[in-house]
Amino acid sequence: MRIVVTGGAGFIGSSLLWQFNQKGISDIIVVDHLGESEKWKNLAGKRFEDYMEKESFLEQLTAGRFGNTIDAIVHMGACSSTTESDASYLMQNNYRYTKKLAQWALALEKRFIYASSAATYGMGEHGYRDDDAVAPLLRPLNMYGYSKHLFDLWLLRNGFQSRCAGVKFFNVFGPNEFHKDDMRSMVLKGYEQIKATGKIKLFRSHREDYEDGEQKRDFIYIKDALSVIGYLLDHPGINGIFNLGTGSAATWNELAEAIYKALQLPADIEYIDMPIALREKYQYFTQADMTKLKQTGYDAQPTSLEDAVREYVSFLEKEAYL
């Protein structure tokens, strides 16, 4: 099988390369835009056929230069910044680019798996069920979430969700995210804060119904996310837009305490005001309803938060990558 992985030098994409290599798969075309970032380090030690810049790849793909030689596209490439303010860039990069890849894959009946996001759920006023009937009601809180949501809606409007698979990532964390700057997980940020000052800083709650640090998210370890993507690739008959989380929410305080426990240190948490610009766009609770995926036969159990954080911290201590 010849696989294209877009965003292949990024956090999830490069982790997928690691998983493919573990299975003996190296017939892979890595597509990304490296620019001046440090994410090239995620590719070191990985085995793959070729690397291509994203615009060059799309041009050659749509011109038919790959013929019928590609079996699957796993599209993880996107601007994942929830604070990106250039709406035109997000529309081009996250929506139109994805649409062109999907159109190619659908026309040639190739496997297409793509990354959506839990950011599509907005405040969660309609819950966190990956129900196609609910999707048109969702109101993302930022342009990143909307760019992902728009592609989901395009699939649904055309009935294409029955011919490909999308995954709505919740809060993924793990090795290979060093390059993500402000979008890095709190595990990495918290680890670095502890090493520098001994303290972890968490946002204070600005809602009366949540205590400081008691905001909840569905945190999922990268290896559990990879397991789901591998399952969908191995089962091309399973299609639709699926949540990808653990199905269980944990507080930021619990996450911070797990980091301290992994480092064998007493917890020392400082609460700071959330930037005003984020207060109206902040999700206080997310929890993936995993029923839809489980009904397809997927039955792997996610790693516990404590065990996942412990393993990730062991990577950070060694400055190691997957």
Q: What is the pLDDT of residue 66?
A: 96
The pLDDT > 70 percentage for the chain reads: 100
What's the pTM value of the predicted model, to 2 decimals?
0.96
Q: What pLDDT shows up at residue 174?
A: 98
Cα separation of 32 and 57, whole Å? 9
Select the more confidently predicted residue: 93 or 313. Answer: 313
- How far apart CA 211 and CA 205 sit, in angstroms, is 6
Encode pLDDT of 15-45 as tens digits: 999 999 999 999 999 999 999 899 999 999 9
User: Using 50, 70 and 90 to split pLDDT, how confident is the model at 322?
Assistant: very high
DSSP string computed for 279-308: HTT--SB-----HHHHTTT--PPPPPHHHH
Show which residues are catalytic: 144, 180
Residues 120, 94 contacting (CB under 8 angstroms): no
The answer to whether residue 277 scores a pLDDT higher than 90 is no
Has residue 85 got a pLDDT over 90?
A: no
What pLDDT is attached to residue 191? 98
Give the model's pLDDT for residue 79. Answer: 85
Work out the average pLDDT over 211-238.
Answer: 98
CA gap 179, 94 in Å, rounded: 19
Q: Which CATH class is domain 3-173+219-246+286-302?
A: alpha beta
pLDDT at 284 over 90: yes
d(CA 33, CA 240): 28
